[in-house]
Amino acid sequence: MKKKLILFFIFFIFNFLNAANDSFIMGHITTCTGLINNYPADSVNWFYRKSHKVVQYFAYILFPLKKNFINLPFEKKYFFKNPYEIYSKGFTDFFETEFTFENRWLSPSGKVLCEKIINWSLDTKEKKFAIEGIQYIPYVFANYIGISEKFAENGQKELPAETGLYHINLYINSELKSITFFEIKD
C-alpha cells in the first residue's frame, strides 16, 4: 500500500509539472491575406498566384498568469540556498516566462520555404483579461511569405513554386504545438 501511495505521488507530481509547463491555450490560428489592427482581415486557405500577393499566418495564444497555478502544499522554511534550485531551477518555479516561437513553412514536397524564430518574455504589465475567472496575457505570433516576391526579413528562403497543399508548423519552446494548412493554386 505504501509503495502504491509513493508511486501515485510521483505520478501526480510528474503530471503537475507537465501540466504547468504546457499551460498556454492556442486560440485562433489561421492563414489570411493580411492583418488589420493586428487581427486577420479574412480567413483564406486557397491562394491564387495571379490574385494574391502574400500568405499571412496568424496565431493568437493565451498565457495564464502565475498566480492562477496551485502551489505545492509545502513551504520552505530554511535559511540556506539549495544549489540545485539555483542552477537548475528544480522545484522552485513551475511557470515559464520565456518562450521561443519557431514558425516553419513547408512545401508539398517537404522543402522548407520559410523559418522565423522569435523570443518573447511574458510581461505581467501587458494587457490582461479574464476568461472564466482566470487571468491571461495574449500574444500574437504573425508572419507572412510572398507568393511572387521573397521577404527575407521574415525568414523566407524561397518562393512557393509548387502547386498544392503547404503546411505551417508552429513550435513553442522546441515542441510542435500547431499545424496549419493552405493551398497554392495557379
- The pLDDT score that the predictor gives to residue 127 is 86
Contacts of 39 (CB under 8 A, 6+ apart): 58
- The pLDDT score that the predictor gives to residue 74 is 43
Of 5 and 127, the one with more pLDDT? 127
For residue 118, is pLDDT > 90?
Answer: yes
User: Residue 11: what residue type?
Assistant: F
Give the structural domain span for 19: 2-185
- The pLDDT score that the predictor gives to residue 160 is 98
Q: What is the 3-state secondary structure (H, E, C) of 94-111?
A: CCCCEEEEEEEEECCCCC
Of 66 and 42, the one with more pLDDT? 42
- The pLDDT score that the predictor gives to residue 129 is 87
Q: Is the dihedral of CA 130, 131, 137, 141 positive or negative?
A: negative
For residue 13, is pLDDT > 70?
Answer: no
CATH number at residue 181: 2.60.40.3880
Residues 160, 184: contact at Cβ < 8 Å?
yes
Domain count, the chain: 1
The per-residue pLDDT for range 121-147, each reduced to its tens digit, is 987 777 898 988 888 999 999 999 999
Q: How confident is the model at residue 53 (pLDDT cuts 50, 70, 90)?
A: very high
Share of the chain above pLDDT 70, in %: 72
Taking the model in full, what pTM does it have?
A: 0.75
Tally Cβ neighbours within 10 Å of residue 152.
9
